[in-house]
Amino acid sequence: MLIHPQIDPVALQLGPLSIHWYGLTYLVAFALFFLLALRRLKHPTYANLGWGRRDIEDLLFFGVLGIIIGGRLGYVLFYRPMEFLAEPLRIVAVWEGGLSFHGGFIGILLAMAWFAYRRRVNWLRVTDFIAPCIPIGLASGRIGNFINGELWGRVADPALPWGMVFRGAGDLPRHPSQLYQALLEGLLLFVLLWLYARGPRRLGEVSAAFLIGYGTFRFIAEFFREPDAHLGLLGLGLSLGQWLSLPMVLAGAALWGWAHRQPRSAV
């Protein structure tokens, strides 16, 4: 049985400025997106569009706004609506923590729609471009959750070699679900999508693969993650994260079906 290391959430203190590990993992995620997106520019589809470094910078800028605004609003609406309704000014207090992936995902979709409108390019062409660049950044964020000792897993069999006791979660060993998610939704999904997106694909296929892949891996990982204490398990014994992931899988399957009805000229 392992004990979660008590890591100071502050990585660096510069006078009154505190730089947190979790914030650094977000910076790593954004940097990785930028580097991977530069590699994606070499794909014939995007080379023919004439995209360059400036377009990647704009994608990243709009994406960061989408993540922060959408992630915060998603957390408020999905997880703690009544609490923030009572104190609406706390909605902007992002420094207190509280971001939802599914809310951030919606925010990114809206941000990419705005980018597509400004560039007069098909929205799915944009989402196909960014999809393979996202999972590795998600892995970085989950590593940040692990460093903070938050979002821990459900109680595990004491015989599990990597079962871990998290401070604040009692004395029983738990699944390090943050690492499960980093491996599934992050590393594995990245490898699969990156390899898949290298070939010629119909419009929307890569986006569909991301929706199906992330939704499936998140649904699986949630079986090992402790549900939010104030929510618990919902209908059919599923967590809120699982219920929010199901529409992603269904939307991905629908998009996949639509993409495969398109002519090859849409590649």
Contact 202, 260 (CB under 8 A): yes
167 labelled as ligand-binding? no
The model's pTM is 0.87
Contact 98, 72 (CB under 8 A): yes
pLDDT in tens, 64-95: 988 888 888 877 777 777 776 777 766 666 65
Structural domain count, the chain = 1
Expressed as residue numbers, the domain containing 100 is: 2-266
Phi and psi at residue 121, in whole multiples of 5°? -130, 155
pLDDT, residue 98, reads 67
Residue 266 has pLDDT above 50, yes or no: no
Question: What is the number of alpha carbons within 13 Å of residue 192 lying toward its C-beta?
Answer: 18
CA-CA distance, 45 to 129, in Å (whole number)?
Answer: 9
Residue 173 has pLDDT above 60, yes or no: yes
